[in-house]
Amino acid sequence: MTASNSILLYVNDAPASARFYAKLLGKEPVEASETFAMFILPSGLGLGLWGKAGVEPAPAAAGGGSEIGFKVAATDKVDATHADWQAKGANIVMAPTDLDFGRSFVAADPDGHRLRVYTMAEEV
């Protein structure tokens, strides 16, 4: 089987979503058009933003039904990323919180796609 190398989010407005992610991630897309944008994340995973009006077959689900996880090295990085994203205007849907697996916060993009920044609790 081929290894996964990208994830696609269906969005209402690809250029607007590309501006949102460029601001949040601090990098420009490697590809951008009126209907599509592609970012390469530090892990090498491609994050594609595809205008849902042109997708065949048409997407059936709305944003918010799943999450993209951004793992960071430590709890202070969760808090720092939260402050950074909040300052950049991200819609924070859960403030930094200690959960059973570690510390986390959740933001939502303009289409309601959930972005979880987290760190794992130290294993005992």
Q: Which fold has domain 6-54?
A: 3.30.720
pTM of the entire structure? 0.89
Token pair, residue 105, equals: 């916060």
Q: Is the peptide bond before 96 cis (omega within 30 degrees of 0)?
A: no
CA atoms of 72 and 37, how far apart (whole Å): 24
- CATH 3.30.720.120 domain span(s) along the chain: 6-54
Per-residue confidence at 123, pLDDT binned at 50, 70, 90?
A: low
% of residues, the chain, pLDDT over 70: 98
CATH number of this structure's domain 67-120: 3.10.180.10
Is the pLDDT reported for residue 124 higher than 60? no
Average pLDDT in the 26-53 region? 95
According to CATH, where is 3.10.180.10 located in the chain? Answer: 67-120
Residue 79, token pair as written in the block: 């808090």
Is there a contact between 45 and 7 (Cβ–Cβ < 8 Å)? yes
Residue 1 has what pLDDT?
A: 61
| Residue 103 pLDDT greater than 60, yes or no | yes
Pick from 53, 54, 51, 55: which is nearest to 38 by CA?
51
pLDDT in tens, 41-78: 998 999 999 999 989 998 888 888 889 999 999 999 99
